[in-house]
Chains A and B, each alone.
Chain A
Amino acid sequence: MSKIEVKNVFKIFGTNPDSVLPMVKGGASKEEVLEKTGHTVGLDNVSLSIEEGETFVCMGLSGSGKSTLIRHLNRLIDPTDGDIIVDGTNVMELSDQQLIEFRKHEMSMVFQRFGLFPHKTVLENVGYGLEIQGKEVEERKKLAMAQIESVGLQGFEDQYPSQLSGGMQQRVGLARALATNPQILLMDEAFSALDPLIRSDMQSQLIELQAKLKKTIVFITHDLDESLRLGDHIGILNGGRLVQAGTPEEIIMKPADDYVEAFVKDVNRAKVLRAKTVMVKVNEFDSKNLKLADVFKVDEGSYIEQFLPKVLADRCTIQVVDKMGDIKGYITEKELAISLSKDAHNIR
């Protein structure tokens, strides 16, 4: 059972969405619907499932419906049609009161422009979720301070958000979201407003935190590098439709259509592809001509960029091993050439 399941969700913006629904279900495109009825299609038959403890990155350009999708998960936006099931609960069937309880405990959200309360101090901001839950001041302060420390902002707890830099503000946003200890974290373009260096810092911090906390994270971004770095699975949205969902390797090696291909065209493959993805399996490899001196051992989880210089310098063959030290496969210059080429699937 997946942690979050989105089933056939449609969202249409406009004065009378229900009247347009049959047309969208009939397969009309976003442009057609807009021209004929003046309604905007936000999401068009999106179905996906997100496993517990993974980071699911939802990617697309602006207007592709990714921010709309994430707001469906905690029902900040109501879908026109479809079901959203979180932890076995159908979110669509919750009453207003139940929905409030659900939001208090199940998930919290981090926003693109931080969404901090400018009239509250960092400490009060981080403690907001707990305040809403009705926790006592002392407990609130204790839990909030712990979170502030975990994102490295101790000493700033009595400052107001506008006195902090963008990166620090977003760390406050992250701490606020973690303070209620929810199982699910929704991050809406959380790092998009930050400059590149700080963004990369924040990504590392998130990966570090995630290794400890094992939350289910839904992350929205328009940046492919970010999604490849963070995501266990990636879903790509275009015009409200989910065009492809899969692991980073799948997205890069087998783009589902031209749109995805255009997206992944400029990506640095050596940074994304792992040894086990590009290797030739042991039983398919002809190891007759192999001299032991020319072999270099790498872990199956390492990225190409980690052993590529070695191959170029020593002209050696890579032997891929798993954690136990068993040989899983080999990588020669030919495999590297294929996997690093932009038209990888054409060469094959």
Chain B
Amino acid sequence: MKRIPKSIIYSFYLIIFFILIVVSYNSSRRKPDSVAELISDPKWLNNWPKWLDAPFKDWINTGWKSFIADYGLIFDAIGYGLLRGYTTLKTLIVQAPWPLVVVGVIAITYFTSGRKLGTTVFVGFCTFFIGFLNPRFWDKAIETTTMVVLGIFLCIIIGIPVGIAMARSERVRNAILPVLDLMQVIPAFCYLIPGIILFGLGAIPAIISIIVYAAPPLIRLTDLGIRLVDKEIIEAAESFGANKKQKLWGVQMPLALPNIMQGINQCTMMALAMVVIASMIGTRGLGDEVLLGLQQLNVGAALEAGLAIVLLAIVLDRMTQAYGDKIQERTQPQKKKK
């Protein structure tokens, strides 16, 4: 493949920059009468001049409006589908008798942790204490968990293939890394509001926000995990004539799994944090209780709800972590003690 020389790329960027300045100048309502005035009166060098203002805001608003008009229906469909899934799952768990749910959580932990009794008992108690703190919290915790689980599920579906693509190609990685940085740095409210416009109030914009907020660590750790696989092991696979697919699924993915599980664990924690923030755009759940307590200056209620969130976090963390540990033991058994 032929590579474009760096100098051409840089001059291309420079041209775009100048076009931007000219466009901004022309579209500004506060520009001086003529360009000649800028030279004769250098006062504009003191403070940032009003006309030196790229009209990104207007562009985004216009673009956004036509985007909604053209593609709004697609988002309605996605939102509807997600909502159906969310409601079904939530109703199922909420309607189940609570002791059954506690037992279910205990059973899942017991098997994912590789039959570790300590972890199982601890998780069981944490689950029980969520409802024990305040009976109202039980259903709300289930709502929150459902959102988190759906969000993680979507994160995995999107994140792992992206991570694999990044590990395989330097070019893809260079293109995606800035996007991940953007997703992680941009304040949550900046995409919570457009989320409401696209999907309405409630659980769906929260789930979408979870993807934006929680997918990056999973993508990064998948990418890292695959690239960290010992080069000699990859060479061994290649020397036996493994093709790309056999290398990926037979060697790289199994060996990257501990890292990927760590990514899913991180993803879970961040998803939970996001659901709490999302209560500010009317998402129900435990975050809602914290918000309520704050608004009423009821320190006790807010703290109680906060504690319930911590307990939920512990339960989710221990379940994913224990599973990750189990995988790690299987793929990299402990070295013999010398």
Contacts and interface: CB of A to CB of B under 8 A. Distances in A.
A104 interface: yes
Contacts of A186: 239
A113 B333 contact: no
Contact of A76 (B233, B238, B254, B255): B238
Interface in B189-243: 230, 232-233, 235-243
Interface string A93-118: 00000001111110111011111111
B239 A119 contact: no
B233 A104 contact: no
Contacts of B336: 162-163, 165
B246 interface: yes
Contact of A163 (B233, B238, B241, B333): B333
A132 interface: yes
B235 A118 contact: no
Contacts of B254: 119
A30 to B, nearest CB: 23
A216 interface: no
A180 interface: yes
Contact of A104 (B230, B241, B332, B334): B241
B324 to A, nearest CB: 14
A128 interface: yes
Contacts of B331: 118-119
A160 B329 CA distance: 11
A103 B241 CA distance: 5
A116 B236 contact: yes
Interface in B177-191: none
B236 A115 contact: yes
Contact of B251 (A101, A107, A117, A133): A117
A145 B331 CA distance: 22
Nearest to B240: A129
Nearest to B334: A162
Contacts of B238: 76, 103
Interface string B311-338: 0000000000000000000111111100
Contacts of A113: 230, 232
A74 B239 contact: yes
Contacts of B243: 100
A104 B334 CA distance: 32
Contacts of B239: 74, 76, 103, 107-109, 186
A11 B247 CA distance: 26
Given A162-B332, A162-B335, A163-B336, A119 B241 contact: no
Contact of A111 (B236, B250, B330, B332): B236
Contact of B333 (A107, A112, A131, A162): A162
Contacts of B233: 115-118
Contacts of B332: 118-119, 162
Range of interface residues on A (Cβ < 8 Å): 20 to 34
A100 B235 contact: no
Contacts of B330: 119
A109 B236 contact: yes
Q: Interface centre among B230, B235, B240, by most A CB within 10 Å? A: B240
Nearest to B235: A76
Contacts of A105: 241
Given A118-B331, A163-B336, A108 B251 contact: no
A71 B243 CA distance: 17
A80 B255 CA distance: 32
Interface in A128-182: 128-129, 131-133, 160, 162-163, 165, 180
A160 B254 CA distance: 14
Interface in A178-192: 180, 186
A71 B336 CA distance: 32
Nearest to A130: B240
A132 B240 contact: yes
| Max chain B C-beta neighbours (<10 A), residue from A118, A128, A186 | A118
A76 B235 CA distance: 7
A103 B240 CA distance: 6
Interface in B241-259: 241-243, 246, 250-251, 254-255
Given A119-B331, A162-B335, A163-B333, A102 B241 contact: yes
Contacts of A165: 336
Contacts of A129: 240-241
Nearest to B253: A119
Contacts of A112: 232
A108 B238 CA distance: 10
A107 B242 CA distance: 13
Nearest to B234: A115
Contacts of B334: 162
Contact of A100 (B230, B236, B241): B241
A50 to B, nearest CB: 18
A132 B241 contact: yes
A273 to B, nearest CB: 36
A40 to B, nearest CB: 18
Contacts of B241: 100-105, 129, 132-133
A106 to B, nearest CB: 9
B17 to A, nearest CB: 29
A132 to B, nearest CB: 5
Given A76-B235, A163-B333, A118 B255 contact: yes
Given A101-B241, A102-B241, A118-B255, 9 more contacts: A103-B238, A111-B232, A111-B235, A115-B232, A117-B233, A119-B331, A119-B332, A133-B241, A162-B332
30 contacts: A71-B235, A76-B235, A76-B239, A100-B241, A100-B242, A103-B240, A103-B241, A104-B240, A104-B241, A107-B239, A108-B240, A109-B235, A109-B236, A111-B235, A112-B232, A115-B235, A116-B236, A117-B251, A117-B255, A119-B331, A128-B240, A129-B240, A129-B241, A132-B240, A132-B241, A132-B242, A133-B241, A162-B336, A163-B336, A180-B240
> Which 4 residue pairs spanning A and B have beta carbons closest together?
A104-B241, A115-B236, A103-B241, A109-B239
